């Protein structure tokens, strides 16, 4: 991989213009499109469901990166996979039988992702590393966009990169929360290779394409 992959988060886009946003993200060169699915229970916000993923699938060839911030995610795995999700990420904190859920994601035809909240330790990786295609380190407490990056997550990202190097296959290391020009370089240096960005991309004064370019330049700067 020559550089970090960019994953604009639809949570920060205009909810009345999702199709336009999906097309614009692809045209801007973003490799992933990130869907923050929230149920109002696991996190205090409510966003959207599989219908949005399905409706947007014809509008983009990007990797649909679906982040389930919901209780009992195993109820929805097949539905999101059928809707067009390429990667389905669940929270360790929401799964009683985590390994089973990760296997369920792969059986449904998607790649399996695991997300860890800021205070959740990395030790859980010792038992599910072979079941992962993506690890998402939350660099804010999940639930709302526009939050400030938690600096204490940098050593956690670095430690996660060390652990993932022991995997028998390649695993994406994604970060989500407060990612912009000031933090992109730091998280990439720590080992992240997929950057979820919301307000820094969709809220860029030069427009979405300029936001994607600025984030990539910042992430790849020495």
The yes-or-no answer on residue 176 being catalytic is yes
According to DSSP, the residues that pair with 68 across neighbouring strands are 37, 90
CA–CA separation, 7 vs 16, rounded Å? 20
Of 88, 29, 23, residue with least CA distance to 56: 23
Q: Given 36, 39, 65, 133, which residue is catalytic?
A: 36
CA–CA separation, 173 vs 112, rounded Å? 12
Residue 173 to residues 29, 58, 129, 208, Cα–Cα distance (Å): 19, 27, 12, 24
The encoded tokens of residue 88 equal 């389905």
The yes-or-no answer on residue 36 being catalytic is yes
Q: Given 39, 65, 133, 176, which residue is catalytic?
A: 176
Q: Active-site positions? A: 36, 176
């Amino acid at each position: 991989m020559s550089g970090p992959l960019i994953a604009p988060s639809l949570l920060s886009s205009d909810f009345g213009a999702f199709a336009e946003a999906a097309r614009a993200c692809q045209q801007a060169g973003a490799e992933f499109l990130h869907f923050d699915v929230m149920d109002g229970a696991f996190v205090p916000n409510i966003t959207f469901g599989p219908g949005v993923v399905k409706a947007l699938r014809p509008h983009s060839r990007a990797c649909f990166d679906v982040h389930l911030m919901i209780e009992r995610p195993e109820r929805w795995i097949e539905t999101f996979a059928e809707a067009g999700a390429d990667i389905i990420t669940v929270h360790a904190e929401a799964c009683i039988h985590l390994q089973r859920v990760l296997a369920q994601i792969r059986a449904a035809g998607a790649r399996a992702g695991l997300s860890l909240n800021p205070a959740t330790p990395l030790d859980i990786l010792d038992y599910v590393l072979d079941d992962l295609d993506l690890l998402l380190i939350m660099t804010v407490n999940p639930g709302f966009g526009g939050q400030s990056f938690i600096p204490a997550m940098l050593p956690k990202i670095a430690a996660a990169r060390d652990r993932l190097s022991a995997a028998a296959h390649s695993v994406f290391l994604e970060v989500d929360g407060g990612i912009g020009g000031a933090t992109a370089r730091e998280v990439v240096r720590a080992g992240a290779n997929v950057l979820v960005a919301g307000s820094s991309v969709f809220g860029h004064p030069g427009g979405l394409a300029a936001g994607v370019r600025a984030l990539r330049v910042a992430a790849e700067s020495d």
